[in-house]
Structure 1
């Protein structure tokens, strides 16, 4: 599978760098060509001579080397690879990648590459769990960066927890999945809704909710990474458009429903958007002015289209798998179960959005998967992890049903 494949391996600083030597050997055994960028910190743990001996290639490390730049500039180095692998990926290098910094050869090549990137994080457990590192990882995943590990266990610093770099065989398996087995949703069309909708009262005011769109965007990115041709219909949000995803930006529920209908046929639909249930029956053409002693205007509301029910309806080009979200503040599973039956969808992911949970606008989510088979309680995890788990479940279900 790897015969003739060109891998650019970036080795950052950390004791886990020694594992990269074994990874090089395994890649070479399978016929891959391996070029290596060794950072200054990485060279404190493994020597350029060891890397060159195993890879059979020149080792690169100096951004300002006139010889290296004339023979193999960082642009060519980053683009002549079939896949870029960062192992170990230190907290520092992940931060540089997330924020677009380019102050050495490794970070410059990573910023210049137009190829897929697989990172294998390795660091102290507290560094891995720090909010800054988790935010950087979430940002990178939304951009399509692939990740393997880290594992939990004994760390070189003497502590125990998550932060161990994945083992060479695990990284190798992730590389092989990318080249041959990482597209379980190839040929599948996916439709995802995300974010809030804004229902205008007048030109400056609207009805909306606190949805950030983070969960829906993460789901769209996860499906695309598994090979699905993905359309994301997004309400107003500051979340960046996910890499490899077609994005249709809308404002209102009616616009979202029209975009979803135009996005059919689809094999799977995930309705993660927090669509406003009602909209003003008549939006004012001018700003509604406040006048002293005058009662506030009465705003007549009318119901918005039910997008989840519409996509679930038989005879409407129904996707094979329709998934909704139930954002509830009480009787979470009970209300979600009733919603699944009422809407006619296949799965509902119930999540608690009560004040204090931090779900709306936050990084984490606690969901319960409700289906005809029953209720499955998932542990609290990041929204990115929820997206990855859901995408894997979708791939498994479509394969089972095919």
Structure 2
């Protein structure tokens, strides 16, 4: 039944995606982020949905009458340079065959990222793109939160098999990243039941992240909480509220969870943590010896024998967005990677500065702030996870860039900005009032 339902939805959307490229982008994003085919049990589980959606998107570029234009801003240029550099490092990879295979996966994601930058122009495009990203991961946040509650925190939450977020740690960071996006959607929504539903979903996502038993996720939550507290004007009240919520969530978890989290401060005695540190040293040694790094496929005993850290007996993946990029693409790749995300945060700050105090742009102010909070979760949680090429942070980058283009186009001055039907027509007034009430300080 699930197989037929998924195929039915897919076939119903395909003709629309063929006429409107931005619809194709939403379809691809849903398939890529949520992996709904992994929730089926029959023929649909291994069907090439993503390949079919990609084919329709590329064909739509020649058919659609919608506006397609690339916003050549600094983050876009650096993103393309980073992708180009990955192609170079793959050409000189230690294991070219497997590295080309991995590059093919990355290029598929980045090609659709480029098309999203071209196709998303209107506010409704942006908000629907946010909805797809937030609910695709939010589904697993709800599912994992419910599981955590029903098991008393005794189980461990996992993601869909065969996806970027299959690992419990990866799913936890992804769920944490969408909580700020859900908060943005809650703020602009006008229907009270929708706002309540989104609030409950955020709570379930928080329980899901804790239920993953991921230490990196706990650090990411702490970092995001600090950003939210630092931005609030009434730091005492905000701090008390956040502290109460945090204590309530942690108090629910069993002692086994507390014991695992306590190893953050005693990593020297943790074999898993020390294994990661030795792998990080391996990546640094490799990057110091090769300008282009080793390519995507570097984690094997042969390379460990040459570039491994003293005492290393086995090598695993880097478990860090920073060290994986360093080892795979060298210091040039790491510089481009860091520059990309610095420009993304700067882009968000620019949006907040341009929209601050303007009622008609209150949604932009809040969206940019929540994107920053989400990226902070990625920067901190990703420091301990293999998520350098995961779709979600690049989709947040797309949101920031196309929102800046929308703002620069000036359509809002003529009252052209509309909200998606689900949010309601008075979202701007409600968000303006909320911004005035809670008054978040600019970044």
**TM-score scaled by structure 2?**
0.25
Query: Quick check: which has more Rg, 1 or 2?
Result: 1
More strand by share: 1
The one of the two structures with greater contact order (alpha-carbon pairs below 8 A, sep at least 6) is 2
